[in-house]
Structure 1
């Protein structure tokens, strides 16, 4: 069995963004812990800015999206970029799998992001196991599936959206590609919905589904993987010492942590409202503002709030959320951020932007009860007064106590399920068993 395990090799292909890389990377680490070799494939362009932990157990290889020097900055349109990624990506993924075969490391299974349905066609050429790894929530995938099959016609009509297995949703609580379908570029709409294009028939017949989350570093969950404290790959260099040194001087539960993730851009008006809302809350705050977004901050904001807050370009989010001084997380509700907060028992102020974030925010407030939503005005802006009020509700009010109790409850439930040998590890074991027999 050990000899076979050494020969098994999984190639992991995520969409090249932090929120897709992290969960697939953590899945790969679990495979490595069970004797499987794992390699992560990313684009040439992205690899140039990646910060890889030298202790990371996952090998990294590259494929091309056709824009090795510029990435998304150069293509004439999204349609041109996606078309290039499909054509050039298919070719270079094929070449990579041939190269790995030639050097004695043949791929046994391709675990691919379903945003790349063409990867399945490449895998078929090599006769390897094919696994679609959905990095968004089951609820969001459920909505996209119903759109793809025509069960949920677009544009949406009516005041409610009813989908089997989900709570009743308002149109604005569906992913932005659904509720704003008429303003979504066709190429982007197709890119998102086509992730089911060549697995739909398979789903309809078998629905062979396995949950493997939360896909977070083991030290924060079951501690089964030694020294697994960080994801191991960052697209931005974190200001670790600055963040952690600042946090250690703050009282327990006194800090509001704010981050809009690695992709979402905030319009200048929203940035200004968020900034002054944080200031007026009178709470300490640690705010992640990427370098590309810094010019949107109000003039002299950092200087005027230097005694109250710290603004950094990136931070080690898992370490920050685990710190006892953090009492609240103002988040864009990317799924990774939501799961990280829930796994640490941190209450959230949900300020969703686009993509899957509105649906995640719905679950945060109305299903799990681990946070409250900061609702926008008629112009789509969350005002400073709303930001201030929501933060105070979490940090000071009765609602905050209820939300924090729910957050703690979910954290404990997650750990109890994992300690008892939950479905996540069992599903990984089943996958490994199938892999070794392939």
Structure 2
């Protein structure tokens, strides 16, 4: 009898935040779909205790390491710098223990797919003789900008009004990631953003959660440094190609959702009549901005579904209910993909985090971009000026976006002179990204290439 080759085992290690965990666990589900790879997600003890798991986690197993804050997570650290330092020291030690524990099992780890913002994970993997794959959760455009800064080709602080980066259109300072446009405000994040390139040459693979056809020039430009494998979009297969069975949700969430109430409300609304409003799991708009947002939603005269986290509702709900009128619904959290897939939704008012941006593009929903920080400003630039699938709001000097500006952008995207063009562009992009993950598509081929190499090595 011929002995069957051992299935390769991949350890997937995201930065412990929902926006990083979700795309990486989706990649894991893609890897395990054909029973060619075993995948284990490594996360912190604190995050593991906070997860709301469901059957959509699929065959991806969960294992834990420590970030040094097992009872509180990031919130327990005195600063971002302190957390990142503890995460590296405690994480390196406990990750080594995890690898050693699996080495004596029937499925020792062959490759660590690590979040590019925590490059020390690659060092631990190499110390144990394992392959390492960097996973970039942001678009290629953002990595191009950061790498340009890392090489000293874009000195900080940025002094010119227009910035030229290979593979990208001319960028204004406000289009750059906030860590780069405001280096003094986010020093710890800037250091982490640049440090991911420090050992990238040691990685066996460089994976990025994007679609080649979305960012052809950006991917081609950075591919002169590394062999980039665009493998996105990493969202549940149900909304793309349905190749991963029963894959309708990310499989875990750090928040609870009452989607039945939301579904019933949406089903009662006409097609393309609702503005879906959500700023993700991290952004905090502040009281003044929340009040302006409420005024803008009311002035738009559109139905709207607004996600306000419980922590924000406790402080701001009294000030916002009076502004929203009777055309809005406020919820603490919801299943975003199911909302965006609803025929009632006509546009998405979003912070333009990359996961949210990809979800809107996958489902053909035009965007009103209201970026807050990090990569969101660059994503908003792509949405408005490159893909032409939405508009970006303009803020005042204090950084506040006034209600009249919000209302004007909503009306323009929903009913304005170019509304049909933006909708058509959004639908075209939806077809493009779906084709990328279908059999023979660019992303599907890259995933197959990654798996085939792992199979040869295991």
TM-score (norm 2): 0.92
Correspondent of 1:119 among 107, 118, 121: 121
Partner of 1:102: 104
Partner of 1:52: 53
CA contact (8 A) 2:367 2:390 kept: yes
Q: Does 1:167 align with 2:186?
A: no
CA contact (8 A) 2:349 2:369 kept: yes
Q: The residue matched to 2:144 in structure 1 has which SS?
A: helix
Q: The residue matched to 1:34 in structure 2 has which SS?
A: coil
Q: In 2, Cα distance between the equivalents of 1:416 and 1:241?
A: 31
Q: In 2, Cα distance between the equivalents of 1:271 and 1:368?
A: 28
The alpha carbon displacement at 1:306 in A equals: 6.2
Correspondent of 1:283 among 277, 293, 302: 302
* Bigger mean CA deviation after superposition, 393-402 or 425-434: 393-402
Correspondent of 1:218 among 237, 240, 243: 237
Q: Does 1:405 align with 2:424?
A: yes
Q: In 2, Cα distance between the equivalents of 1:192 and 1:64?
A: 22
Partner of 2:29: 29
Partner of 2:207: none
The alpha carbon displacement at 1:305 in A equals: 3.9
The alpha carbon displacement at 1:281 in A equals: 1.2
- Which residues in structure 2 correspond to 1:176-191 (within 5 Å)? 176-185=178-187, 187-191=188-192
Q: In 2, Cα distance between the equivalents of 1:296 and 1:406?
A: 38
Output one character per residue of 1:104-155: Cα deviation in whole Å (capped at 9) or x when no partner. 3210110000111110111012211110000000000111111111111101
Q: Does 1:228 align with 2:228?
A: no
Correspondent of 1:379 among 398, 409, 432: 398
Q: The residue matched to 2:162 in structure 1 has which SS?
A: coil
Output one character per residue of 1:173-219: Cα deviation in whole Å (capped at 9) or x when no partner. 0000011112223x222122111111157789861210101111111
Q: Does 1:199 align with 2:200?
A: yes
The alpha carbon displacement at 1:278 in A equals: 0.6
Q: Classify 1:174/1:291 alpha carbon distance in 2 versus 1 (closer, same or farther; 3 Å).
A: same
The alpha carbon displacement at 1:299 in A equals: 2.0
Q: Classify 1:410/1:377 alpha carbon distance in 2 versus 1 (closer, same or farther; 3 Å).
A: same
Q: In 2, Cα distance between the equivalents of 1:298 and 1:227?
A: 36
The alpha carbon displacement at 1:48 in A equals: 1.4
Correspondent of 2:152 among 140, 150, 153: 150
Correspondent of 2:353 among 328, 331, 334: 334
Correspondent of 1:414 among 426, 433, 441: 433
Q: Does 1:361 align with 2:369?
A: no
Unaligned runs of 5+ in 1: none
Q: In 2, Cα distance between the equivalents of 1:337 and 1:277?
A: 21
Q: In 1, Cα distance between the equivalents of 2:48 and 2:351?
A: 25
Q: In 2, Cα distance between the equivalents of 1:305 and 1:184?
A: 34
Q: In 1, Cα distance between the equivalents of 2:410 and 2:392?
A: 10
The alpha carbon displacement at 1:418 in A equals: 3.9
CA contact (8 A) 2:291 2:320 kept: no
* Bigger mean CA deviation after superposition, 73-82 or 320-329: 73-82
TM-score (norm 1): 0.96
Q: The residue matched to 2:433 in structure 1 has which SS?
A: helix
Output one character per residue of 1:269-293: Cα deviation in whole Å (capped at 9) or x when no partner. 1111001111121111101111111
Partner of 1:17: 17
Q: In 2, Cα distance between the equivalents of 1:400 and 1:30?
A: 35
Q: Classify 1:25/1:351 alpha carbon distance in 2 versus 1 (closer, same or farther; 3 Å).
A: same
* Bigger mean CA deviation after superposition, 55-64 or 150-159: 55-64
CA contact (8 A) 1:259 1:331 kept: yes
Q: The residue matched to 1:421 in structure 2 has which SS?
A: coil
Correspondent of 2:79 among 71, 77, 80: 77
Partner of 2:65: 63
The alpha carbon displacement at 1:419 in A equals: 4.0
Q: In 1, Cα distance between the equivalents of 2:224 and 2:441?
A: 26
Q: In 2, Cα distance between the equivalents of 1:109 and 1:398?
A: 51
The alpha carbon displacement at 1:382 in A equals: 0.5
Unaligned runs of 5+ in 2: 204-221
Output one character per residue of 1:51-91: Cα deviation in whole Å (capped at 9) or x when no partner. 11135221111111101111122222222211111110000
Aligned residues: 436
Q: In 1, Cα distance between the equivalents of 2:163 and 2:80?
A: 29
Q: In 2, Cα distance between the equivalents of 1:345 and 1:338?
A: 11
Q: In 2, Cα distance between the equivalents of 1:102 and 1:238?
A: 40
Q: Classify 1:403/1:205 alpha carbon distance in 2 versus 1 (closer, same or farther; 3 Å).
A: closer
